[in-house]
Amino acid sequence: MSDQRDAVYIISVAAEIVGMHPQTLRVYERKGLVEPFRTPGGTRRYSQADLERLLLIQDLSSNGVNIEGIKRILRLQAENARLRSQVDRLRRLLEEAEERRGDRTTMRIEVGRMSKRQLPALRRDDPFAQDVSG
């Protein structure tokens, strides 16, 4: 959903910028592909992020991806962005913890040693090896 401060384009301007008919934008909204900001009077306002999303939808559609496929791609992109953000946050927290602890090299070596003791043996018999004795 667009933030009110970023949503500045009315539907006719947004449609012209992305080269679509305003009705197409309404259809995409009804299908759940885009969610423009609504003013108290109900007017749609599109942000730059909405326009970029519409261009992506247009590109996917012109390459033969149907609406359900586009929805899945958009959901996967959102999930990917969420996970990347989470990984970045965890990296920052780890770096902060390492800085508080002191020498990063020492901590990594200690973590490596602890991990080795806790891991099970990785050598296993090959399930595809043939018994030659029989």
**pLDDT per position as a tens digit, 89-119:** 999 999 999 888 875 554 455 555 554 445 5
Helix (H) / strand (E) element for 37: namely strand 37-38
Q: Has residue 22 been placed in a domain? A: yes
User: Both 24 and 84 in a single domain?
Assistant: no
Angle at 118 between CA 114 and CA 121, to 5 degrees: 125
What DSSP character marks residue 47? -
Neighbours of 49 (CB within 10 A): 14
User: Both 43 and 57 in a single domain?
Assistant: yes
* Domain tally, the chain: 2
User: Both 46 and 76 in a single domain?
Assistant: no
Query: Could you give the count of Cα atoms lying within 13 Å of 55 in the half-sphere of its Cβ?
Result: 11
Bridging pattern class, strands 37-38 and 44-46: antiparallel
**Cβ-contact 85, 38 below 8 angstroms:** no
User: Both 85 and 50 in a single domain?
Assistant: no
**Cβ-contact 15, 22 below 8 angstroms:** yes
Question: Tokens 């990296």 belong to which residue?
Answer: 91
Q: Has residue 129 been placed in a domain? A: no
What average pLDDT does range 13-29 have in this prediction? 96
* Confidence at residue 101, expressed as pLDDT on a 0 to 100 scale: 86
User: Both 6 and 50 in a single domain?
Assistant: yes
pTM of the predicted model as reported, rounded to 2 decimal places: 0.65
Q: Has residue 134 been placed in a domain? A: no
Domain span at residue 55 reads 1-65
* Confidence at residue 121, expressed as pLDDT on a 0 to 100 scale: 56
